[in-house]
Amino acid sequence: MSRFKTNVPKPQFEDTGLKLPEESEILNGVIEDHSTAFGNTVDYYDSQSNIFLQATPQGQLATSIAAIISDFNNQLAYYVNQVNPDFATGRMQDAIGKIYFMDRIPAQATVVNATCYGMTGTIIPKGTLAKDTSGNIYESTEQVTINDTGSIHVDFQCTTTGPVECKKNTLTQLYQVIQGFERINNPTDGIVGRNVESSAQFEARRRKSVAINAVNSVDSIMSSLLSLENVIDAYVTDNSAAHDASISGVSLKPHSIFVCVAGGKPEEIARAIWRKKPPGCDMNGDTTVTIVDDSGLYGSTPPQYEITYQKAKPVRLLMGITMIRPQSLPIDGTKQIKDAVLNAFNGVDGSIKAGIGSLIRASSFYFPIQQLGSWAQIINLYIGETAASETLVQINIDQIPTLNADDIEVTFSG
């Protein structure tokens, strides 16, 4: 233990947490230390007014040392708080994630379900490239063969990560020549990608992932799916009844599970479901993948399983915003408002991204708009699927919402 003593109060760990001394207490402690060191020959306060002589050399020195100590205390408090998952960020949050075998999700690309047209029997290899009208390049996520109808549906993923918009009927250009592959189009909006997972998004996923090591539960399936590369969102529920049941807009078979996924690779999704689902239960959805048991327990004749799940169907949303016309409206005011809304909707600003089966409230977009400045005053804000006339929209559990800048109408009144 040091033989030196100081009058500067120390941080204290109490039952309620870390307690830091006030800056004024630190400054007084530094002054007492200096006065003792110099034999009380240096004045720090005016003898008549008792005002602290901050402009003097000794005042400046004491203030600087007190500020250094206070800054160190604040850094200590910051790192103490980083142990709490509710406040952790950056590398400290990554470390907490490691406890749950979690890694931060990197930036993900927009996924578009496209229809490829051409000659029956034409093979479209995985990685086939196409281009949208904005010049963004997309590649197919799996190999497919054009069927007897002269078309086939396949997901294309943007080669640029992040929230890249791809509106319907814009992925129309073939970027490479494949004999028999004649044209391409996307009948629905793409599912917008996202930037690197934010602190708020990471913590929300951590809370959902606590069951990742479990099996035979919807939580374990959900956690496993959200950990897959390029999975943008997932939703898992079940029907334990002995009869069909309608749950959040979707009809489920008796004694079945329902899994809806946006993005990801079908083989990886199916294998994740197979490893976590209860044996013998029925499944629902529009996509069936056959997988082979890879446990190694069955020698050269492993069993095969058909795993069915639902690919999330994009639902286009509309938004109407009426603003008070300010005296000094920024030239790009409309664009600023649209960007703020899209950043919140897509989770770019750190918000939780609107996902499968979510309840979207119009009021959740007030704050990001108001953050633009005192000029941004909202009269009303409505959302909807066919018209912007609702204050909230419930998305079905087989759907994922999309929102494009062109679908946001901003009006200034007054």
pLDDT tens across 120-154, in order? 999 999 999 999 999 999 999 989 999 999 999 99
Bridge partner residues of 259 (DSSP): 236
Q: Please tell me the least confidently modeled range out of 43-47, 242-246, 325-329, 344-348.
A: 43-47
Q: Which residue has the higher pLDDT, 251 or 199?
A: 251
Q: What is the mean pLDDT of the chain?
A: 89
Is the model's pLDDT at 215 over the cut of 80?
no
* pLDDT at 103 (0 to 100): 83
pLDDT at 182: 93
pTM of the model: 0.67
> Is residue 196 very low, low, confident or very high in pLDDT (cuts 50, 70, 90)?
confident
pLDDT for 200:
81
Confidence grade of residue 2 (pLDDT, cut at 50, 70, 90): low
Q: Looking at residue 376, what is its pLDDT?
A: 93
Contacts 24+ apart (CB under 8 A), 143-152: 144/116, 145/121, 146/116, 146/117, 146/118, 146/119, 146/120, 146/121, 146/122, 146/180, 146/181, 147/120, 148/120, 150/117, 150/118, 150/119, 150/120, 151/115, 151/116, 151/117, 151/118, 152/115, 152/116, 152/124
Q: What is the pLDDT of residue 207?
A: 76
Whether the pLDDT of residue 3 is over 70: the answer is no
As a whole number, mean pLDDT of residues 325-353 equals 89
Question: Do the Cβ atoms of 171 and 139 come closer than 8 Å?
Answer: no
More confident residue, 146 or 50: 146
Any idea where the domains of the chain sit in the sequence?
A: 12-81, 109-185, 212-311, 315-413
SS (H, E, C) the chain: CCCCCCCCCCCEEECCEEECCCHHHHHHHHHHHHHHHCCCCCCCECCCCCCECCCCHHHHHHHHHHHHHHHHHHHHHHHHHCCCCCCCCHHHHHHHHHHCCCCCCCCEEEEEEEEEEECCCCEECCCCEEEECCCCEEEECCCEECCCCCEEEEEEEEEEECCCCCCCCCEEEECCCCCCEEEEECCCCCECCECCCCHHHHHHHHHHHHHCCCCCCHHHHHHHHHCCCCEEEEEEEEECCCCCEEECCEEECCCEEEEEEEECCHHHHHHHHHHHCCCCCEEECCEEEEEECCCCCCCCCCCEEEEEEEECEEEECEEEEEEECCCCCCCCHHHHHHHHHHHHHCCCCCCCCCCCCCEEEHHHHHHHHHCCCCCCCEEEEEEECCCCCECEEECCCCEEEECCHHHEEEEEEC
**Rounded average pLDDT over 31-44:** 85
> What pLDDT shows up at residue 271?
94
pLDDT score for 212:
63
| Predicted local confidence at residue 228, as pLDDT | 87
Residue range 60-78: average pLDDT?
92
| % residues pLDDT > 70 (the chain) | 97
pLDDT of residue 372: 94
In the structure, what pLDDT confidence band is assigned to residue 214 with cuts at 50, 70 and 90? low
Band of pLDDT at residue 230, cut at 50, 70 and 90: confident
> In this predicted structure, what is the pLDDT of residue 398?
95
Predicted confidence band of residue 176 (pLDDT cuts 50, 70, 90)? confident
Q: How confident is the model at residue 261 (pLDDT cuts 50, 70, 90)?
A: very high
Q: Report pLDDT digits (tens) over 341-355.
A: 999 998 888 777 889
* Res 323 pLDDT > 80: yes
When pLDDT is cut at 50, 70 and 90, the band that residue 201 belongs to is confident
Whether residue 180 has pLDDT greater than 80: yes
Q: Which pLDDT does position 1 carry in this prediction?
A: 46
pLDDT in tens, 274-306: 999 988 899 999 999 999 988 778 877 889 999
pLDDT interval class at 227 (50, 70, 90): confident
